[in-house]
Amino acid sequence: MDQPATRAILLGSGTPHADPDRCGPAVAIVAGGELYLFDCGPGIVRRAAAACRAGATELEAVRLQRLFLTHLHSDHTAGLPDLLLTPWVLGRRAPLEVWGPPGTAAMLSHIQEAYRADIRLRLEGREPANETGWQARPHEIATGRVYEDAQVAIDAFPVRHGPAPAFGYRIAGRERSIVISGDTAPTDEIVSQSLGCDLLFHEVYSRAGFARQPADWQAYHREMHTASDELADLASRACPGLLVLYHQLFWGESEEGLIAELRGGYGARIASGRDLDVY
Protein backbone atom coordinates (compact mmCIF):
# COMPACT_ATOMS: atom_id res chain seq x y z
CA MET A 1 0.00 0.00 0.00
CA ASP A 2 1.42 3.37 -1.01
CA GLN A 3 2.18 5.80 1.78
CA PRO A 4 0.71 9.32 1.62
CA ALA A 5 3.02 11.99 0.26
CA THR A 6 2.72 13.77 3.61
CA ARG A 7 3.23 11.41 6.53
CA ALA A 8 4.13 11.64 10.19
CA ILE A 9 6.65 9.46 12.03
CA LEU A 10 6.50 9.50 15.82
CA LEU A 11 10.17 9.46 16.78
CA GLY A 12 9.52 9.92 20.49
CA SER A 13 6.27 9.48 22.42
CA GLY A 14 7.67 9.88 25.92
CA THR A 15 7.55 12.26 28.86
CA PRO A 16 10.14 13.27 31.48
CA HIS A 17 9.77 9.76 32.91
CA ALA A 18 12.78 7.64 31.91
CA ASP A 19 10.87 4.95 30.02
CA PRO A 20 13.38 2.89 27.99
CA ASP A 21 10.71 2.13 25.38
CA ARG A 22 9.76 5.76 24.77
CA CYS A 23 12.24 8.44 23.74
CA GLY A 24 11.54 12.09 24.42
CA PRO A 25 8.87 13.93 22.42
CA ALA A 26 9.68 14.26 18.73
CA VAL A 27 7.59 14.08 15.56
CA ALA A 28 8.97 13.95 12.03
CA ILE A 29 6.82 15.17 9.15
CA VAL A 30 7.85 14.04 5.68
CA ALA A 31 6.27 15.92 2.78
CA GLY A 32 7.30 15.65 -0.84
CA GLY A 33 10.62 14.15 0.16
CA GLU A 34 11.42 17.00 2.59
CA LEU A 35 11.80 16.58 6.36
CA TYR A 36 10.52 18.74 9.21
CA LEU A 37 11.18 17.85 12.86
CA PHE A 38 9.01 18.97 15.77
CA ASP A 39 10.68 18.90 19.20
CA CYS A 40 13.85 16.99 20.01
CA GLY A 41 13.58 14.96 23.17
CA PRO A 42 16.34 12.57 24.26
CA GLY A 43 17.12 9.90 21.67
CA ILE A 44 15.94 11.77 18.58
CA VAL A 45 18.99 11.12 16.37
CA ARG A 46 19.04 7.38 17.04
CA ARG A 47 15.28 7.13 16.58
CA ALA A 48 15.72 8.94 13.25
CA ALA A 49 18.38 6.39 12.33
CA ALA A 50 15.98 3.58 13.19
CA ALA A 51 13.28 5.13 11.02
CA CYS A 52 15.79 5.52 8.19
CA ARG A 53 16.79 1.87 8.50
CA ALA A 54 13.10 0.94 8.34
CA GLY A 55 12.77 2.71 4.99
CA ALA A 56 12.20 6.40 5.75
CA THR A 57 15.38 7.50 3.99
CA GLU A 58 14.38 11.16 4.38
CA LEU A 59 15.55 10.79 7.99
CA GLU A 60 19.18 10.09 7.08
CA ALA A 61 21.41 11.98 9.54
CA VAL A 62 22.70 14.51 7.00
CA ARG A 63 19.09 15.49 6.23
CA LEU A 64 18.19 16.45 9.81
CA GLN A 65 18.22 20.17 9.06
CA ARG A 66 14.91 21.76 10.14
CA LEU A 67 13.56 21.79 13.69
CA PHE A 68 10.47 23.43 15.19
CA LEU A 69 10.26 23.65 18.99
CA THR A 70 6.96 23.85 20.82
CA HIS A 71 8.59 25.12 24.03
CA LEU A 72 11.91 24.93 25.83
CA HIS A 73 11.29 22.39 28.59
CA SER A 74 14.15 19.92 28.90
CA ASP A 75 12.21 16.80 27.87
CA HIS A 76 11.47 18.52 24.53
CA THR A 77 14.98 19.93 23.98
CA ALA A 78 17.49 17.60 25.67
CA GLY A 79 18.23 16.06 22.27
CA LEU A 80 19.26 19.42 20.82
CA PRO A 81 23.05 19.04 21.32
CA ASP A 82 22.82 15.62 19.65
CA LEU A 83 20.75 16.98 16.77
CA LEU A 84 23.14 19.90 16.34
CA LEU A 85 26.42 17.98 16.45
CA THR A 86 25.98 14.30 15.57
CA PRO A 87 24.66 14.86 12.02
CA TRP A 88 27.56 17.27 11.46
CA VAL A 89 30.07 14.62 12.58
CA LEU A 90 28.33 12.26 10.14
CA GLY A 91 28.67 14.72 7.27
CA ARG A 92 25.86 17.25 7.38
CA ARG A 93 27.04 20.53 5.84
CA ALA A 94 23.92 22.66 6.23
CA PRO A 95 23.52 24.56 9.51
CA LEU A 96 20.63 23.40 11.69
CA GLU A 97 17.67 25.74 11.23
CA VAL A 98 15.65 26.04 14.45
CA TRP A 99 12.29 27.75 14.89
CA GLY A 100 11.10 28.19 18.46
CA PRO A 101 9.83 30.54 21.17
CA PRO A 102 11.84 33.40 22.65
CA GLY A 103 14.89 31.94 24.33
CA THR A 104 15.70 29.59 21.44
CA ALA A 105 18.66 31.66 20.26
CA ALA A 106 20.16 31.81 23.74
CA MET A 107 19.74 28.06 24.22
CA LEU A 108 21.54 27.33 20.95
CA SER A 109 24.32 29.79 21.75
CA HIS A 110 24.93 28.20 25.15
CA ILE A 111 25.01 24.71 23.64
CA GLN A 112 27.60 25.80 21.11
CA GLU A 113 29.64 27.42 23.87
CA ALA A 114 29.45 24.25 25.98
CA TYR A 115 30.87 22.23 23.08
CA ARG A 116 33.31 24.88 21.86
CA ALA A 117 36.38 22.76 22.69
CA ASP A 118 34.95 19.72 20.91
CA ILE A 119 34.03 21.79 17.85
CA ARG A 120 37.49 23.36 17.74
CA LEU A 121 39.24 19.99 18.02
CA ARG A 122 37.17 18.55 15.19
CA LEU A 123 37.82 21.57 12.96
CA GLU A 124 41.52 21.92 13.73
CA GLY A 125 42.49 18.30 14.27
CA ARG A 126 42.85 15.40 11.86
CA GLU A 127 39.11 14.81 11.51
CA PRO A 128 37.85 15.87 8.04
CA ALA A 129 35.11 18.07 9.51
CA ASN A 130 33.35 20.72 7.44
CA GLU A 131 33.11 24.33 8.60
CA THR A 132 29.33 24.79 8.54
CA GLY A 133 27.37 21.75 9.75
CA TRP A 134 27.88 22.51 13.46
CA GLN A 135 26.31 25.93 13.16
CA ALA A 136 22.72 26.84 13.99
CA ARG A 137 20.35 29.48 12.68
CA PRO A 138 17.67 30.35 15.25
CA HIS A 139 14.33 31.86 14.27
CA GLU A 140 12.32 33.05 17.28
CA ILE A 141 8.64 32.89 16.47
CA ALA A 142 5.30 34.43 17.30
CA THR A 143 1.76 33.35 16.48
CA GLY A 144 1.03 32.90 12.78
CA ARG A 145 2.85 31.65 9.69
CA VAL A 146 6.40 30.71 10.64
CA TYR A 147 7.52 28.72 7.59
CA GLU A 148 6.44 27.95 4.05
CA ASP A 149 7.98 26.19 1.08
CA ALA A 150 6.73 24.24 -1.93
CA GLN A 151 5.68 21.29 0.26
CA VAL A 152 4.19 22.69 3.47
CA ALA A 153 2.89 25.76 5.23
CA ILE A 154 3.49 25.78 8.99
CA ASP A 155 1.58 27.98 11.43
CA ALA A 156 2.25 28.38 15.14
CA PHE A 157 -0.51 29.00 17.66
CA PRO A 158 -0.37 29.67 21.41
CA VAL A 159 -1.08 26.92 23.93
CA ARG A 160 -1.40 26.89 27.75
CA HIS A 161 1.72 25.52 29.37
CA GLY A 162 2.85 27.86 32.09
CA PRO A 163 4.17 31.42 32.02
CA ALA A 164 6.77 30.99 29.26
CA PRO A 165 5.62 31.10 25.63
CA ALA A 166 4.57 27.71 24.25
CA PHE A 167 3.18 26.84 20.84
CA GLY A 168 1.38 24.16 18.92
CA TYR A 169 1.83 23.79 15.17
CA ARG A 170 -0.49 23.22 12.22
CA ILE A 171 1.27 21.75 9.20
CA ALA A 172 -0.61 21.97 5.91
CA GLY A 173 0.78 19.67 3.24
CA ARG A 174 -0.47 19.27 -0.28
CA GLU A 175 -3.06 16.64 0.62
CA ARG A 176 -3.01 16.33 4.43
CA SER A 177 -3.08 18.60 7.45
CA ILE A 178 -1.41 17.70 10.74
CA VAL A 179 -1.66 19.41 14.13
CA ILE A 180 0.86 18.93 16.95
CA SER A 181 -0.22 20.15 20.37
CA GLY A 182 3.06 20.17 22.24
CA ASP A 183 2.47 20.32 26.00
CA THR A 184 -0.73 22.11 26.91
CA ALA A 185 -3.82 22.31 29.01
CA PRO A 186 -6.97 22.12 26.86
CA THR A 187 -7.71 25.27 24.88
CA ASP A 188 -10.29 26.42 22.37
CA GLU A 189 -7.38 27.50 20.15
CA ILE A 190 -6.40 23.86 19.61
CA VAL A 191 -9.97 23.05 18.65
CA SER A 192 -10.09 25.84 16.06
CA GLN A 193 -6.66 24.95 14.66
CA SER A 194 -7.55 21.24 14.46
CA LEU A 195 -11.00 21.45 12.86
CA GLY A 196 -11.18 18.67 10.29
CA CYS A 197 -7.43 18.03 10.25
CA ASP A 198 -6.22 14.61 9.11
CA LEU A 199 -3.99 13.94 12.13
CA LEU A 200 -4.03 15.47 15.58
CA PHE A 201 -1.08 14.61 17.82
CA HIS A 202 -2.14 15.56 21.33
CA GLU A 203 -0.60 15.03 24.75
CA VAL A 204 -2.72 13.34 27.42
CA TYR A 205 -2.69 12.02 30.96
CA SER A 206 -4.80 9.28 32.51
CA ARG A 207 -7.59 10.60 34.69
CA ALA A 208 -7.52 7.39 36.75
CA GLY A 209 -3.77 7.63 37.26
CA PHE A 210 -4.07 11.33 38.09
CA ALA A 211 -6.29 10.50 41.06
CA ARG A 212 -3.38 8.64 42.66
CA GLN A 213 -0.88 11.51 42.37
CA PRO A 214 0.13 13.80 45.26
CA ALA A 215 -1.87 17.01 45.60
CA ASP A 216 0.98 19.27 44.45
CA TRP A 217 1.49 17.27 41.27
CA GLN A 218 -2.25 17.21 40.67
CA ALA A 219 -2.30 21.00 40.85
CA TYR A 220 0.60 21.21 38.38
CA HIS A 221 -0.87 18.84 35.81
CA ARG A 222 -4.34 20.33 36.08
CA GLU A 223 -2.94 23.70 34.93
CA MET A 224 -0.31 22.49 32.46
CA HIS A 225 -1.57 19.33 30.74
CA THR A 226 -4.70 17.64 29.34
CA ALA A 227 -6.65 14.86 31.02
CA SER A 228 -8.21 12.03 29.04
CA ASP A 229 -11.79 13.28 29.51
CA GLU A 230 -10.72 16.81 28.56
CA LEU A 231 -9.10 15.51 25.39
CA ALA A 232 -12.21 13.52 24.56
CA ASP A 233 -14.26 16.71 24.68
CA LEU A 234 -11.67 18.64 22.67
CA ALA A 235 -11.43 15.98 19.96
CA SER A 236 -15.23 15.68 19.75
CA ARG A 237 -15.33 19.35 18.81
CA ALA A 238 -12.31 19.30 16.47
CA CYS A 239 -13.23 16.08 14.61
CA PRO A 240 -9.74 15.07 13.39
CA GLY A 241 -9.45 12.18 10.96
CA LEU A 242 -7.23 10.40 13.52
CA LEU A 243 -6.41 11.37 17.08
CA VAL A 244 -2.88 10.23 17.99
CA LEU A 245 -2.04 10.19 21.68
CA TYR A 246 1.55 11.03 22.54
CA HIS A 247 3.42 12.28 25.61
CA GLN A 248 1.09 9.87 27.46
CA LEU A 249 1.25 9.95 31.24
CA PHE A 250 -0.10 6.53 32.19
CA TRP A 251 0.72 6.57 35.92
CA GLY A 252 0.23 2.83 36.17
CA GLU A 253 -2.68 2.56 33.72
CA SER A 254 -2.42 0.53 30.51
CA GLU A 255 -2.72 1.83 26.95
CA GLU A 256 -6.05 0.02 26.72
CA GLY A 257 -7.20 1.69 29.92
CA LEU A 258 -6.20 5.13 28.68
CA ILE A 259 -8.05 4.63 25.41
CA ALA A 260 -11.09 3.38 27.33
CA GLU A 261 -11.06 6.62 29.33
CA LEU A 262 -11.25 8.60 26.08
CA ARG A 263 -13.94 6.30 24.71
CA GLY A 264 -16.16 7.54 27.50
CA GLY A 265 -16.56 10.78 25.58
CA TYR A 266 -15.11 10.24 22.10
CA GLY A 267 -16.17 7.61 19.61
CA ALA A 268 -14.00 8.34 16.56
CA ARG A 269 -10.59 6.97 15.58
CA ILE A 270 -7.83 6.95 18.24
CA ALA A 271 -4.27 5.61 18.18
CA SER A 272 -2.04 5.45 21.24
CA GLY A 273 1.26 6.41 19.67
CA ARG A 274 4.49 4.49 20.17
CA ASP A 275 7.99 5.33 19.02
CA LEU A 276 8.50 4.80 15.26
CA ASP A 277 4.79 4.52 14.46
CA VAL A 278 4.01 5.95 11.02
CA TYR A 279 0.75 7.73 10.17
Mean pLDDT, the chain, integer: 96
pLDDT of amino acid 22: 98
Residue 3 is predicted with a pLDDT of: 60
pLDDT tops 70 at residue 4:
no
pTM of the prediction?
Answer: 0.96
Positions marked active-site:
75
Fold exhibited by the domain 1-142: Metallo-beta-lactamase; Chain A (3.60.15)
- Report whether pLDDT(271) > 70: yes
* Percent of the chain residues past pLDDT 70, beyond the cut: 99
**Portion of the chain with pLDDT greater than 90, in percent:** 97
234-261 pLDDT, tens digit each: 999 999 999 999 999 999 999 999 999 9
Q: What is the 3-state secondary structure (H, E, C) of the chain?
A: CCCCCEEEEEEECCCCCCCCCCCCCEEEEEECCEEEEECCCCCHHHHHHHHHHCCCHHHCHHHCCEEECCCCCHHHHCCHHHHHHHHHHCCCCCCEEEEECCCHHHHHHHHHHHCHHHHHHHHHCCCCCCCCCCCEEEEECCCEEEEECCCCEEEEEECECCCCCCEEEEEECCCCEEEECCCCECCHHHHHHHCCCCEEEEEEECHHHHCCCCHHHHHHHHHHCCEHHHHHHHHHHHCCCEEEEEEEECCCCCHHHHHHHHHCCCCCCEEECCCCCEC
Going from N- to C-terminal start, the domains of the chain cover 1-142
